[in-house]
Amino acid sequence: MANIIKLKYGSGQPANGSLKVAEVALDLTHKIIYTSTNGSDIVEMAGGTVNWDNIVDVPDSIQIIIDGNIPEYVDLETLANQVKANADAIDALESWQKTVDTDLAKIKADILKNAGEIADNAEQIGKNVINISANADEIADLGGRVGQNESDIADLQDALNGDLTGLVLAGSYSAATNLITGVRSEAASAGFKEDTALNQYLGADYAGYYFIVDAPGTLANTGSPARADGEEALVGDWLVADATHWLLFHFATETTVWGTINGDIGNQDDLQAQFLTKMDVDAEIDGGTYA
């Protein structure tokens, strides 16, 4: 009899501290996936859309199934090895996170020293608000380029990259047209609308919202003055509002490796039809329950 592995599951959001870093929990009542970024917080996993034709490095055993050349068996060991391929990258990311945590106090001190009008950044982030006041004397000539104010704004962007848990997903954005393409209900109540430019949404009311790029291109109309205009954005990158600008954070890659795909493969009806001819559809994976 095959082994059965179940993910941790329950109803509603898990309690803080109940999940380890990258541990997965399923809310079976509301159909939501949760994990933790640091062992203390609980975050909801947001899926994305992957163009199946752009997937690279598909294992041969899966490609055979996609092509309809079904073998006598499915090589599960090959699939498992592919999943493990990103272990080194995950270790490097965890190491980078530890470095950011160690240097965070110094970075915050440098930001406060060189930008007198930026309020207590750590307190604002803790309140889920990124509300960076403009320092007219020191940042007047930025012209959309973070690096032009010596290293202070670059340090700020590094700090934000290390602690983005207070942001609110507003929807999707096309860098090809430089217009909003989709608005979530939380953002619609704040006034965001589809087919509008980002520079229409500046000020403290919009700080902390972010859009995920769904079409690549050259950014325009990202603020006044605009920091991100002229930068190249890829699918998966983030545009984050800091009250007076929209900042670009690169999280995307130009191709997707099989081992990094998330979401529900069960939505791929053609592939699932092939799997059902060779795999036990009644098998369960059970990680227990969460508090």
Q: Is the pLDDT of residue 267 over 70?
A: no
pLDDT of residue 146: 44
Taking residues 206-229, report their average pLDDT: 90
Longest dimension (CA), the chain: 71
Q: How confident is the model at residue 161 (pLDDT cuts 50, 70, 90)?
A: very low
Query: d(Cα 136, Cα 256) in Å, to the nearest integer?
Result: 41
Alpha helices in 127-268 (DSSP H): 136-139, 152-162, 185-188
Q: What is the pLDDT of residue 171?
A: 95
Confidence band for 194, pLDDT divided at 50, 70 and 90:
very high
The answer to whether residue 282 scores a pLDDT higher than 80 is no
- The span from the CA of 24 to the CA of 98, in Å, is 21
| Residue 7 burial (10 A CB sphere; 0-12, 13-18, 19+) | middle
How far is 240 from 209, CA to CA, in rounded Å? 6
Unique residue bearing structure tokens 């859309």:
49
Q: What are phi and psi of 250, to 5 degrees?
A: -85, 110
Structure token digits, residue 270: 């053609």
Amino acid identity for residue 68 in this structure: G
Residue with tokens 């602690």: 163
Domain layout of the chain by residue ranges? 1-47+274-291, 88-249
Q: What is the pLDDT of residues 98-141, one digit of tens each?
A: 888 888 878 777 877 877 776 665 676 666 555 555 555 555 55
pLDDT digits (tens, 9 = 90+) for 242-254: 888 899 998 765 5
Residue 203: predicted pLDDT: 87
Handedness of CA 126, 188, 13, 51 (dihedral sign): negative
Mean pLDDT of the chain: 77
Report the C-alpha gap between 86 and 264 in whole angstroms.
19
Classify strands 238-241 and 209-215 as parallel, antiparallel or unpaired. Answer: antiparallel
**HSE-up (13 A, CA, CB side) for residue 40:** 1
Residues sharing a CB contact under 8 Å with residue 200, sequence separation 6 or more, in sequence order: none
User: Average pLDDT, stretch 62-70?
Assistant: 72
Over the stretch 15-40, which tens digit does the pLDDT of each residue have? 999 999 999 999 999 999 999 999 99
Evaluate if residue 182 carries a pLDDT over 50.
yes
Instruction: Say if residue 234 is exposed, middle or buried (CB neighbours under 10 Å; 0-12, 13-18, 19+).
Output: middle
Alpha-carbon distance of 65 to 71, in angstroms, equals 8
Mean pLDDT of 192-207: 92
* Distance, CA of 82 to CA of 78 (rounded, Å): 6
CA distances from 86 to 56, 69, 181 (A): 14, 28, 31
How far apart CA 212 and CA 240 sit, in angstroms, is 9
Helix (H) or strand (E) holding 96: helix 87-114
